């Protein structure tokens, strides 16, 4: 540095100028310069440092900005997505500021408010509430609910409202919280009209009969229960009428179920028309209806009502252009004398109805205690019957059918009549158990047993003088209605190796109450197999001749009630003669049953009846006894 300065001085000073004295000065310069150089170097160093830091900071900042941008993008995307999701929702969602100003709202909510987002935001809390309430029906409870949120700001609130166009909404108000600080509230609501309607529908269905729309059993039970309470409090004498249509099954079978349903609807309308406002009509199921009559019904009024009911049902029902007339049987039980629970009153009215049926239908019957005893007897008998079937506690008695017109009287067949053997050796006669076994279906098992037992007996008789003597078996309408009946008869015959012509079936006219065509088909199949058919108790049922012309019957059995009056009642004689004539004209053999006296027999013989059956010849008796008869 020193030399450099000296050189510069020599350049600018005269050449002879001594620069030595300047040494001190130079030295001072030099020092200063050094100092400056050092300072500069230091400065330079520190400047370099600062710029690195700045660069670093700059880099960090650039990075952070980038991150913020990414986050912002993501947030923006998420926000748009959330908004889109909210807009797509059928639920209306509105977020409010703590002051009650609208902050955000989705499309459904804005549609409900009938405002744009900007408009909604510009509304004051009050006018916004007004816009919300414009459509709402039960504003009072809604406002009350909203108000209550003010007092419990951090609680969720649920409620319902109904709109003026009858839609049901449910809503939710939840606080918008951040770190326990309330930022506002979210109000969401949705249309639940459909599910509400479904609920109402379900409720309706649970209490009403699907077909007729009448109150159903559950509903009636409720109503009766209520009526019982009133009856207890005010000493009302209310009544229950249990109504069962007579022979409705016949309509169902002949016209089909769909028409049967139409019939029931029409019947329910007619029944309803006979009642007063205060009376209740319900359907228990099938063709069973129930009427609850309130206090003011005297016995006479009940009787009048019954006549009205019968009258209205007696007007022909047109089904597929065919007129149908129907009657009903009614059982009546009285509050509280017959019971103090709905179930008991219905059960007793049912018992009384059953009795009305038994007494010939188309009538009403009041419950009394004897019916209960009968019902208990029925249940007990059914139990015992089941056990008897299991234990094989039956025997067959046989009663001969005698041919009387050929000079020598001769057994041409026997009728099998079932008896129930008791443990003590006594016998129970069919009149006290056949009807019950028909009701509960046990008859099918009995018939099967009778058929098998008869076949077994026929095989035993093969080697006796009774060989080739046919056995007649009584068949119930329930048997014939069973689709498997024909197969079962044929397979029993085949199993025992018995030809069809050794079995005859005795049917009463009741078998034709159901589908006549299908009965005819079944009987034709049996006939093909050689099985003969006999129309039993002829004259006591409908005695409609229409099925006589279509059916391959072999015998007509005149009911014993006509035979028993033969000698004393001219009309009976006239009927018997007519049946015999008709039978002959149709090519049928006529059998008279219940022949007890010689006089009866003579009259019948004179009237050209060739086959008789009755105590005159033999009471029904054991197979061994029959073998020893001398005819
Ligand atoms: P049903 O088929 O009319 O049988 C004739 C009934 O009259 C028999 O009564 C017989 O004992 C009785 N009887 C016969 N001759 C005379 C007579 O001269 N005078 C009087 N007063 N009665 C006579 P039972 O055996 O008590 O049978 C009653 C009814 O029970 C039968 O009437 C029949 O409908 C039914 N039944 C009997 N056995 C069976 C069976 O195995 N299956 C079915 N489904 N029903 C049967
Ligand atoms: Ca018979
Ligand atoms: Ca008979």
- Atom number in ligand 1 closest to CA 443: 44
Same domain, 285 and 422: no
- Closest Cα partner for 171 from 185, 183, 182? 185
The confidence score (pLDDT) of residue 631 equals: 77
Q: Ligand 1: does its nearest atom lie under 6 Å from the Cβ of 479? A: no
Q: Per-residue pLDDT tens for 269-325?
A: 899 989 887 889 999 999 999 999 987 667 788 889 989 998 998 899 887 788 888
Same domain, 261 and 357: yes
**Together in a domain, 410 and 361:** no
For residues 18 and 150, membership in a common domain is answered with no
399 C-beta closer than 6 A to ligand 1: yes
Partnered with residue 73 across adjacent β-strands are none
**379 in a structural domain:** no
Q: Are residues 409 and 528 in the same domain?
A: yes
Nearest CA to ligand 1 atom 3: 537
State the distance from the centre of ligand 2 to the C-alpha of 434, rounded, in angstroms: 12
Which of 589, 621, 586 lies closest to 415 in space, CA to CA? Answer: 621
Final residue belonging to a domain, choices 139, 174, 195: 195
Which residue, of 79, 113, 146, is where some domain finishes?
Answer: 79
Count Cβ neighbours within 10 Å for each residue of 587-613 and write b for 16 or more, e otherwise.
Answer: ebbbbbbbbeeeebbebbeebebbbbb
- Residue 344 is part of which domain span? 208-367
> Quick check: is 200 in a domain?
no
**Ligand 1 binding pocket includes 476 (Cβ within 6 Å):** yes
Examine the domain organization and report whether 326 and 470 are in the same domain.
no
Is the model's pLDDT at 217 over the cut of 60? yes
* CATH number of domain containing 541: 3.20.20.450
Please indicate, yes or no, whether residues 268 and 163 belong to a single structural domain of this protein: no
383 burial level (CB within 10 Å; 0-12, 13-18, 19+):
exposed
CA 1 from centroid of its chain's CA atoms: 119
174 and 68 in a common domain? no
What is residue 32's predicted lDDT score, i.e. its pLDDT?
79
Whole-angstrom distance, CA of residue 205 vs CA of residue 209: 7
Query: How many domains does the chain contain in total?
Result: 4
Which protein residue's CA is at the shortest distance from atom 37 of ligand 1? 417
What is the residue-averaged pLDDT of the chain? 88
Q: Is residue 29 part of a domain?
A: yes
Higher pLDDT, 418 or 237: 418
383 within a domain of the structure (yes/no) = no
Residue nearest to atom 22 of ligand 1 (CA): 594
Residue to substitute in 398, 399, 402, 417 for testing ligand 1 pocket (most ligand atoms within 8 angstroms of CB): 417
- Whether residue 363 is found in the same domain as residue 457: no
Nearest CA-CA partner of 594 in 626, 627, 624, 567: 567
Which protein residue's CA is at the shortest distance from atom 21 of ligand 1? Answer: 594
Residues 473 and 617 in one domain: yes
Q: Is residue 619 part of a domain?
A: yes
Report whether residue 338 contacts ligand 1, using a CB cutoff of 6 Å. no
Tell whether 377 is covered by a domain.
Answer: no
Task: Please give the structure tokens belonging to residue 341.
Answer: 């629970």
Q: Determine whether the shortest distance from the Cβ of 537 to ligand 1 is under 6 A.
A: yes
249 neighbors 260 (Cβ within 8 angstroms): no
- 108 and 55 in one domain? no
Distance (Å, rounded) from C-alpha 109 to C-alpha 92? 4
Residue pair 443/476 in contact (Cβ under 8 Å)? The answer is yes
Is the entire prediction scored with pTM above 0.75?
A: no
Predicted pLDDT at 195: 83
List the residue whose alpha carbon is closest to atom 16 of ligand 1: 594
For residue 594 and ligand 1, the question of a CB distance below 6 A is answered with yes
Give the integer Cα–Cα distance in Å for 133 and 122: 17
**Pair (175, 220) in one structural domain:** no
Q: Beta 92-96 vs 181-191: how paired, if at all?
A: antiparallel
Ligand 1 lined by 437 (C-beta under 6 Å): no
Question: For the chain, what percent of residues have pLDDT higher than 90?
Answer: 56
Using the CB atoms, write b or e for 235-264: b if 16+ within 10 Å: ebbbbbbbbbbbbbbbbbbbbeeebbebbb
Contact present, 616 and 595 (Cβ < 8 Å): yes
Q: What is the pLDDT of residue 154?
A: 65
Q: What pLDDT score does 295 carry?
A: 72
């Amino acid at each position: 540095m020193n030399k450099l300065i000296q050189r510069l001085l020599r350049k600018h000073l005269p050449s002879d100028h001594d620069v030595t004295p300047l040494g001190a000065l130079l030295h001072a310069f030099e020092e200063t310069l050094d100092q400056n150089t050092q300072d500069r170097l230091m400065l330079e160093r520190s400047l370099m440092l600062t710029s690195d830091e700045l660069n670093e900071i700059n880099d960090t900042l650039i990075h952070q900005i980038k991150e913020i941008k990414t986050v912002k993008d993501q947030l923006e995307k998420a926000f748009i997505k959330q908004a889109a999701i909210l807009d797509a929702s059928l639920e209306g969602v509105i977020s409010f500021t703590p002051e009650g100003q609208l902050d955000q709202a989705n499309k459904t909510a804005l549609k409900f408010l009938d405002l744009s987002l900007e408009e909604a935001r510009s509304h004051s809390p009050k006018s916004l509430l007004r816009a919300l309430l414009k459509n709402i029906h039960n504003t009072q409870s809604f406002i009350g609910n909203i108000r209550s949120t003010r007092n419990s700001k951090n609680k969720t609130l649920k409620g319902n409202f109904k709109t003026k166009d009858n839609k049901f909404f449910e809503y939710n108000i939840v606080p918008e919280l951040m770190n326990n600080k309330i930022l506002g509230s979210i109000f969401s609501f949705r249309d639940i009209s459909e599910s509400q309607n479904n609920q109402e529908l379900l409720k309706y269905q649970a209490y009403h009969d699907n077909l007729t729309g009448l109150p159903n059993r559950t509903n009636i039970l409720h109503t009766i229960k209520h009526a019982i309470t009133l009856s207890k409090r005010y000493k009302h004498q209310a009544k229950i009428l249990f109504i069962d249509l007579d022979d409705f099954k016949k309509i169902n079978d002949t016209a089909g179920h769909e028409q049967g349903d139409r019939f029931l609807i029409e019947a329910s309308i007619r029944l309803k028309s006979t009642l007063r406002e205060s009376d209740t009509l319900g359907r228990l199921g099938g063709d069973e209806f129930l009427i609850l009559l309130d206090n003011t019904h005297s016995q006479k009024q009940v009787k009048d009502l019954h006549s009205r009911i019968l009258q209205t049902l007696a007007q022909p029902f047109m089904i597929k252009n065919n007129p149908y007339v129907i009657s009903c049987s009614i059982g009546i039980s009285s509050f509280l004398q017959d019971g103090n629970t709905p179930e008991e009153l219905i059960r007793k009215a049912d018992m009384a109805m059953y009795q009305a049926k038994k007494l010939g239908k188309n009538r009403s019957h009041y419950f009394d205690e004897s019916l209960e005893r009968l019902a208990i007897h029925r249940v007990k008998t059914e139990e015992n019957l089941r056990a008897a079937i299991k234990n094989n506690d039956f025997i067959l008695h046989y009663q001969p059918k005698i041919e009387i017109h050929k000079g020598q009287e001769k057994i041409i067949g026997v009728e099998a009549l079932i008896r129930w053997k008791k443990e003590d050796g006594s016998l129970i006669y069919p009149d006290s158990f056949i009807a019950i076994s028909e009701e509960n279906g046990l008859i099918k098992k009995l018939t099967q047993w009778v058929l098998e037992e008869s076949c077994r007996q026929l095989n035993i008789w093969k080697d006796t003088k009774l060989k080739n003597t046919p056995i007649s078996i009584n068949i119930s309408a329930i048997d014939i209605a069973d689709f498997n009946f024909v197969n079962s008869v044929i397979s029993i015959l085949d199993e025992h190796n018995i030809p069809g012509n050794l079995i005859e079936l005795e049917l009463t006219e009741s078998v034709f109450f159901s589908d006549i065509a299908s009965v005819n088909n079944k009987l034709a199949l049996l006939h093909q197999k050689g099985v003969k058919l006999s129309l039993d108790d002829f004259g006591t049922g409908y005695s409609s001749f229409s099925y006589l012309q279509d059916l391959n019957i072999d015998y007509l059995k005149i009911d014993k009630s006509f035979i028993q009056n033969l000698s004393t009642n001219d009309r009976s004689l006239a009927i018997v003669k007519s049946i015999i004539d008709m039978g002959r004209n149709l090519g049928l053999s006529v059998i008279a049953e219940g022949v007890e006296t010689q006089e009866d027999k003579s009259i019948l013989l004179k009237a050209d009846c060739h086959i008789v059956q009755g105590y005159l010849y033999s009471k029904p008796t054991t197979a061994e006894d029959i073998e020893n008869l001398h005819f």
